[in-house]
Structure 1
């Protein structure tokens, strides 16, 4: 009997454009495939589970007899961001995209925010997170005015030097912005982007926080919580769901800290779900178009995979997938509309089980609901019968 799922999200690790990628400006995006085309990607442990054998995977060498479950999964919702992706995984279909602001935020938003802050903002435009620090960081330090910017995603980002605006004050600004950004301006996330350093050498710190919309309805997480199961969020999971349905959470400073914390929870007495997001693929390498860093990050995670598996109980199932793409080889620094790879492993699961292509991320959540014997989700089709021994 399976009584716990360890669910690890490799944030932004997509594997090829979805059929409607052109509508999102993402034709040609393939995060894993394009990285592996430029560099030799050494990920033997994920390949052993079936990564290279996934339908549509390119530029990775297949293995003869994969030891895990593998497949690729498409996104049904109208978006390509963290919130919509994670929400779909746990049963929320989002046909209407969250609002975006290619020309910056309107006065009805910025006037209220500036009134709260007591200063005019800097920026108010789409920008790369590191580029806008180089452009406006010095002025921010001289004036104390917060830097506000967005991207192709539905985000209101506030950057502030930790020595100029203390962390808790920045978080308070984000909470106020979250209240202001409602109704037609209900962006998916308000993000605190603290940084340190001096002009010419600014760097973002690990004190980032996401202030997401509260999910509009109950998700798999709520169902598990209501059924008396543990729902443990590692990394930014708690932020993505605004704490809804989470029984315990811990934030992490980087991917390897995320793996460490996941393993620590695996060795505690809990039943239900350990839900981990490893964000550096997206935040540190994808958005920065850092191909070498992204490849190294994948290899570092791959090296930890045997350790994760070694710490699994016989009654555990491990699931690994992404939430969208962020191809570092393309000119764009934004997320990309891609299929995501899916891998699973456990003593109760079949070896070499090919799921082919699934049409919605919710199939994963529906499968977890069946594994843990709780109420079905509104969308998604369980594939448990195809993978259980």
Structure 2
């Protein structure tokens, strides 16, 4: 059984695992023989509240007949933010570090394939009033294969597939395979703490050692009241999800187990929240006079710029700060700043449907004319368009 020690102690305290004495190896094997085996029905409570598991956390977890977990943990990283205090780097280790106010992670584990595959969904939410920019999520997995026959340092790993290219796709953007830090300087943990992985495999076939693996995901900006999710899949049955997988195998002929480690992020969407879109959308107003009422009738022409990376849907409101001679006629309410607010959601959805937009979403590059609404102008002259504010529910990622 491995002891979890600091990086500065590893080389001095343990030395290279390949040169441990037979007595030490024998003690490890004896200890492993008394580890409890985990069945499918025991999934509840096996993982800690932040998804931590394995010998390190005194939460033994096994896969199939010979796969076991030494350590399973996760990290969150925000550029320029120190989320771990006195520890190296700036990433928060979920099992150890408190997250900033408003940022939370919920963990939902599920056993699949009769105890041979574990799916862990991490839901990351922002309950605050400001975005968390440049968010990254990392998963760390140190697994063991048939330790009684294979020890834990006669392993190698392979890489299947290719990484992603940012928050718009589901694939991991970072990955790494390395010795976990008992002998080397701990480059894998340095990467996790620093919020980036090298996308390298230090332990291919022929370079066997103690295998540890990590996956990382670019999640982009998590908007206020938004949420996103990452799902990690560990399997001794060869099951995987997403375009990239790391596969851990044993070099010993007696090793029958392999562990497949993969995952996926919420595809193309990390947040959905209502907010002011005036600074980046294209918009204009068409006006006509209703002679019977003396009111101006307004039509909002709204354009989602190509390349915006965001959609607009579900809700649309406009607001205008009233004056003695100009105001929205019969507004629905007031904004926090005291401006009159008018809900145009029904007109928005109707207009989308009228132009054949079946998903009721204004995607990048699309325009729609929304109206009409009533506006009071004492002199019957149109208001200045820049005095309006426009709000909608945006969804990052851009389209379906």
Q: Same fold (TM over 0.5)?
A: no
Structure with greater Cα Rg:
2
Higher relative contact order, chain-length normalized (CA < 8 Å, sep 6+): 1
